[in-house]
Chains A and B, each alone.
Chain A
Amino acid sequence: MQLIPCPWCGPREEAEFHYGGQAHVAYPSDPSALSDEEWAQYVFFRDNPSGPFAERWSHSAGCRRWFNAVRDTRTHDLLAVYRVGEPMPEVAS
């Protein structure tokens, strides 16, 4: 089990958190204008890198707030955590 540093509560056990997948996937600004291909990309296709990945977590058994993290998917190391609305920090890959 790893410790995940919640930006509000500090480091807590992983079991307190809920995973939310890729971060910064914006809802389409003009949904009715989307083609089937574009809808498929929005609904089903996500980045799946081997390396740093910006993703969402929720501190569901703590403050219950969502936040973002950059985590290396090869080592599972959390490289940065940041609050919703903040830009993704630069990380060394």
Chain B
Amino acid sequence: MQLPEHPDFLWDDPEPKASYDVVIVGGGGHGLATAYYLAKVHGIRNVAVLEKGWLAGGNMARNTTIIRSNYLWDESSGIYEHSLKLWEGLEEDLGYPILFDQRGVLNLAHSLQDVRDSVRRVNANRLNGIDAEWVDPQGVKEICPIVNVSPDVRYPVLGATYQPRAGIAKHDYVAWGYARAAHAMGVDLIQNCEVTGLETAGGRITAVETSRGRIAAGRVGLCAAGHSSVLAAMVGLRLPLASHPLQALVSELLEPVHPTVVMSNAVHVYVSQAHKGELVMGAGIDSYNGYGQRGSFHIIEQQMAAALELFPVFARAHLLRTWAGIVDVSPDASPIVGLTPVGGLYLNCGWGTGGFKATPGVGDCFAHTIAHDKPHPFNEPFTLERFTTGALVDEHGAAAVAH
């Protein structure tokens, strides 16, 4: 596949204005997408996206780009499938190539309990109109010939769920596409601008304090992933989140050998091959809380052991680069998207290990939440209050990353 030419400048680098109708904190995929849909769908264009580093340099640059919607519960099916449908038209919508490639995803089962959970998830997906099928080990082999389905390994492959419409996209292009389109509609993208305080008056947000001065804001949306707890604490709001390192790595560039995406919850690895040719692999989270964007080496060792058992052909591949992002893990492995006790302050966090796939969906729903001061039906179940009412949406199985 031919990679597109790299454009010169897709957006400006403006000075922040004294005030905006809406300020989005966090210039990653979710923040940029939210700004885009605010401008496009709701006509709210006096918007700034504040980013403490550079655009899309946090988890948006560190994720393994897997896109799928095969979650268990109806609530999750709603928002993730909404997102997948937006992905399917995103390239045309943004007028920008994002290399969205629906190559399918296999979620492997390695124990009888895995098999039962997987079959249940397939049935739940089908009832929600989401493409899903159960495939036996031979079917796994047909979809992805390099998977070792031999029964004499420590954790044999007993089958897998398969979602053909799942896939990957080029994460940088997704961010740039949203940034370019948002900028074209008048959104200010302000980098090197760290939020240091949130100002309130009479129970309502009034401004954000930043490393580049005070910026008045009618409404503020937080899209800060791993740093959400730090921001929320600025208004005395406690969140049920733990920020953990999540590591990933790539090999050097190889010939195309891996035609799909393979995830295994039980042995803690997920693998795809990027368009350029690197094998992209993710691990489970590091156990401890951490904001350092790095994790511990034994996690990588375990991940490689799992990868080699599943894919013996990778034995000669060389590791090129490892890194970590900071993921905001919630108690039920589902996000928190909605209103807060502070008027005009909105929360989008808790996506943990799986936020990339939600980028268009949550951008659309979060923009709706901010514009109407009311949750979109798709994010209505994902309130902060669910941890008090007990209406949790437990997706630890479908999250497919060890927590």
List the interface of chain A (C-beta within 8 A of B): 1-2, 13-15, 18-19, 21, 36-37, 39-41, 43-50, 53, 55, 71, 73-76
> CB distance A71 to B387 under 8 Å?
no
Q: How far is the CB of A36 from chain B (nearest CB, A)?
A: 5
> CB distance B388 to A76 under 8 Å?
no
- Residues of chain A with a CB closer than 8 A to B233's CB: 49
Which of the residues A2, A43, A74 comes within 8 Å of B291, measured between beta carbons?
A74
> Does B296 sit within 8 A of A, measured CB to CB?
yes
CA distance A15 to B298 in the complex (A): 7
> Does B78 sit within 8 A of A, measured CB to CB?
no
Q: How far is the CB of A45 from chain B (nearest CB, A)?
A: 5
If the complex has contacts A37-B388, A73-B290, are A44 and B240 also in contact, measured as CB distance less than 8 A?
Answer: yes
Number of interface residues of B (CB under 8 A): 25
> CB distance A45 to B387 under 8 Å?
yes
- Residues of chain A with a CB closer than 8 A to B292's CB: 73-76
Which of the residues A1, A37, A55 comes within 8 Å of B288, measured between beta carbons?
A55
CA distance A66 to B288 in the complex (A): 15
If the complex has contacts A40-B387, A40-B388, A44-B331, are A71 and B288 also in contact, measured as CB distance less than 8 A?
Answer: yes
Having A36-B388, A37-B388, one finds 4 other A-B pairs with CB under 8 Å, namely A46-B242, A48-B230, A50-B229, A50-B243
CA distance A15 to B300 in the complex (A): 12
> CB distance A73 to B291 under 8 Å?
yes
CA distance A44 to B387 in the complex (A): 7
CA distance A18 to B243 in the complex (A): 17
If the complex has contacts A45-B239, A48-B229, are A73 and B387 also in contact, measured as CB distance less than 8 A?
Answer: no
> Does B241 sit within 8 A of A, measured CB to CB?
yes
> Does B103 sit within 8 A of A, measured CB to CB?
no
- Residues of chain B with a CB closer than 8 A to A53's CB: 289
- Residues of chain A with a CB closer than 8 A to B390's CB: 36
- Residues of chain A with a CB closer than 8 A to B227's CB: 50
> Does B141 sit within 8 A of A, measured CB to CB?
no
6 tightest Cβ-Cβ pairs between the two chains A and B: A48-B229, A19-B287, A40-B388, A44-B240, A50-B291, A44-B387
A-B residue pair count with CB separations less than 8 angstroms: 66
Q: Mark B219-252, 1 if CB is under 8 A from A, else 0.
A: 0000000010110010000111111000000000
Q: How far is the CB of A71 from chain B (nearest CB, A)?
A: 7
Query: Whose C-beta in chain B lies nearest to the C-beta of A48?
Result: B229
Q: How far is the CB of B222 from chain A (nearest CB, A)?
A: 14
> CB distance A48 to B289 under 8 Å?
yes
If the complex has contacts A1-B296, A21-B242, A50-B227, are A55 and B289 also in contact, measured as CB distance less than 8 A?
Answer: yes
> CB distance A73 to B289 under 8 Å?
yes
Question: Could you list 19 examples of A-B contacts with CB < 8 Å?
Answer: A1-B297, A13-B298, A14-B296, A15-B298, A19-B287, A21-B289, A36-B388, A36-B389, A36-B390, A40-B240, A44-B240, A46-B242, A48-B229, A50-B291, A55-B288, A73-B291, A73-B292, A74-B291, A76-B288
- Residues of chain B with a CB closer than 8 A to A39's CB: 388
Q: How far is the CB of B271 from chain A (nearest CB, A)?
A: 23
> CB distance B287 to A48 under 8 Å?
no
Query: Whose C-beta in chain A lies nearest to the C-beta of B297?
Result: A1
CA distance A50 to B234 in the complex (A): 13
Q: How far is the CB of A53 from chain B (nearest CB, A)?
A: 6
CA distance A40 to B297 in the complex (A): 35
CA distance A30 to B389 in the complex (A): 20
Query: Whose C-beta in chain B lies nearest to the C-beta of A15?
Result: B298
CA distance A55 to B243 in the complex (A): 14
